[in-house]
Every structure is written in C-alpha cells, then in structure tokens.
Structure 1
Amino acid sequence: MKIGKLPDQVIRLLIIFAILIAGFVIARIFFVPASFGKLGHYRADAITAIEKLPVKYAGSLVCTECHSDIYELKSKSYHKGLHCEVCHGAASKHANAPDESKPLIPRKRDHCAKCHSYLPSRPTGFPQINVLYHNPNKPCHDCHNPHDPTPPTIPSKCSACHANITRTISLSYHASLECKTCHETPPEHIENPSLNLPHKPAERSFCGNCHDPKAQSAKNIPRVDLETHYPGYLCWQCHYPHFPEAE
C-alpha cells in the first residue's frame, strides 16, 4: 500500500513539536543543576551550601550547661516541649561568648499572644486569652513564670472562654445565676464551640419564669406584667441579660 504525502499542516505541527522538544532539552541543560537527582529529587550541592552557613542556633542542650535550674523547672511545666530559642532567639553567639552577647528576653504582651491569643483553630484545651480584656497593659510575666506558666487561678466552666461576660455579670443582679439557667449548652460546645453554639432564649415568656407576678421565684425579684409591659418587644431589646439593670 502506497503511503501518500503528509499534509502540509501536519508537517508544520511536527516542526513546531520538534522545536519545542529541542528547546526543552536545551533549557534543561542550562537551568537544571548538574547535581540535581544524585541523592533525590533535589540539588545535592545544596547540602554543601547549607553546611557553609554560619550556625545561629545553639540548641537547648547547650543552654542546660549554664541554666540547669531553669531547664529542670521548664522540663516539668506546660512549656516542656518548647525549646529555649523559640522565645529567646538564636543563642549561638551567646553560648560562645556569654558576656558579649545576651539572648532576647521578651517582655511585651504581644510575644506571648503569638501562641496564646484566641483562635478557633487552636487545639482543644490549649490556653487562650482575649488580649484586649485579659489583664490589659499588664506584662504576662507579672502573673506567669514563663518557665513554669501555671496560671495563679485556673478558670473553670464558662468563664474560661467568656471571662469578659463573667466579670460583667458578677456586678449585676444576675450574679447568682448559673449560665445554664438561661443557656442550654450541648456537651460538644466545649470541644467545638463554633460548631455547637449554646441555646439562647427566644421568647418573652422565658424571662417571665422569674419576673412574672405569678412566677414561683424569690420575692425580691423585680416583677413585670408581660401582657402590658411593652408587648411586642423582646426583653433583651431593652435589658442586657448579663447586666439587666444598666440603662
């Protein structure tokens, strides 16, 4: 069977492909390092280049030679997995010449906030704070020893995350009420707060359980007739539940 001549358009395409392949081969020769692929999918000469870089970090074991007491304290604390140079910076120069080079000693609140400011993505149980409300303008190390950061008082229950609300309600007439009095909270809320929100009252009648004239509650609790007291409005449109007496 006689093979006919290739169409001109096919020949042109073949020429283009040949040029592209040749260009790729030539580019690879010029741009891919000669040591690439010798030890793996990377440039083997990079190891030698890294070895020539100056050493900046000393390592925690070097720190223990002079600071064994601090290391002993830290090794039993919540910061036991934290290397010294995470907070104090590269310490190679300090290790070689302690009197000439001093390590960084973080004093500002924003340093601790890098790990401890509130983020929903942090692991469950990881200590977190709202930097704006948690002892504002006070250095963290005034209350916490960085090498043994056990808090002086451990928050419990709702106040661990809602400290601002806890402080507000502690000054109000509702101070004696437990959070669960008004909020039904699923157990999963502790582990995944954003995905398991607590229940909030949605009807006026809920407040009436305590404040209605016929409610079976303490006599000193303020009473309102829900039928005549601003009907059509929800109670919390006028009264902040965590500080209801505020105007």
Structure 2
Amino acid sequence: MAAEDAIGPVRKGPAEPFPAAQAPFDAIGMARGLLRSVPSGALATLATDDGAPFASLVTIATDADGTPLMLLSRLSAHTRNLEAHPRCSLLFSKGGKGDPLAHPRLTVTGRAERTDDPRVRARFLARHPKAELYAGFPDFGFFALRPSAGHLNGGFAKAATLTATELLLDLEGAEALVAGEAGAVAHMNADHADALGLYAAAAGEGPWRLTGLDPEGMDLVSGERTARVLYPEPVRDMGALRKSLVAMAAAAREGR
C-alpha cells in the first residue's frame, strides 16, 4: 500500500503546497470564502518604467462567478501599469487578532482587463456604495482580474494551489439566477431585513445588507464588516433560491 493511500497525501517537501483537490482541508471552500468576503487587498502590478513589482491597496468586489472586480483611476500608477502589462496578482487577507501570519490569505494571479459590463458596475457598487461618488468620472473604469491560478495559505500547515476553475463558480444552468439577482437582492433588503440578520448571526449583530447572490451563497455587509453565507446546497434557479432562503431562516429561528 502506498504511503498516501494509508495516511492521505504526502508533501514532497516541507514548503510545497498541496493541489487543492488533494489538500487535507477544504482549500477550495476557504479560498472562495476569502474571495467573496475580503473587501480590499494588495494589487501587485509590473511598473511601466523598469518592470519592478509595484504593490498598492485597492477595493475589491466579485462577479457572480467569483471573478475579482476593481474600480481604478487612470491617474493611478497601478492602472497605467495594467494598461501596459495586464499580468498582476491580488492578495486577499482578512486578518484578525494576534499574529497576522496565523490567519488565512489568498493570492490570485492572472490578467486584468477593462470591462463595461453593467453587471460588474452593479455588483461593485453594491459592495462599495460610496464609490458611486466617483465611479462615473471619465478617468475611472472597472477592471476584472481573470484568474490563472491561486495560492492559499490557510494558516499553519495549510497551503494549497488552486486552478482557475477551482477558484471560480461554474454558472452554466444558473443564467436565470444571475439575471434575477438584482431584483432578489432589492426584495430581500427591502422586505426581509430580519432574515438577513438571521443568516449573518454568526458574524455579529447588524443591521446587515445583502450585496449579492450567486449559486453557492450570499454576500452581506454591515458597516465595515462582511459576511459570506453559504446555502445548505447550491442553487441554480430562483425557485430553489427561495426554498433555500426560507429553510435557512426557519432553521435559524429554531436554533438549528
């Protein structure tokens, strides 16, 4: 019997991360959770003059499939860098008390591209409503980071690499859910604030506001806090979404 058959996957070296599918922890779930819940991160680009790495702080949202989204000004060095060299990376780190290196963080590498997709604008401004003050300025534009890979450090002895398909959701068959997202979000915020508080109870008291829905879960904010809440099972249409939300609220009220 091979060693990995007896005790699970074995690292070849002390610093070598596991492929996500072989990791002895939920690397894909942890990575997707960071993608959805971290509202700002470090953007690393290649400087236009000498190609040196250039890191800056940016605010982040996600598209329905988890693609990282940014609103950037052409007056910023990182935007000029991206227009010349689209290759870049984003560091997602939620942080917390104590040693910052003890908390999970995710680096996503890929290529950034400008996008005028109305859904991108809507999802970004739902997560960062104050950005609407300057989102329409002619020197600002929305960018999507098309991932090529991810590197997750989940804390001590928890490292994994991820492919683009492991980072992002497959939206095939969920087109109606994506199309109906804006209406569902508006309805939940207007009429079901109590349910949103139940969903996000583990993240603390609200009031909580829903910013986005996707086949895997929902994104909520309360002031500077964020919460990612997963459904019991993935949903692909509005009917399944309604049933899941009703069941989740009922279970929360019953303390289950």
TM-score by length of 2: 0.18
More strand as a share of residues: 2
> Which entry has the higher C-alpha Rg, 1 or 2?
1
TM-score by length of 1: 0.19
The answer to which structure, 1 or 2, has the higher relative contact order (CA under 8 A, 6+ apart) is 2
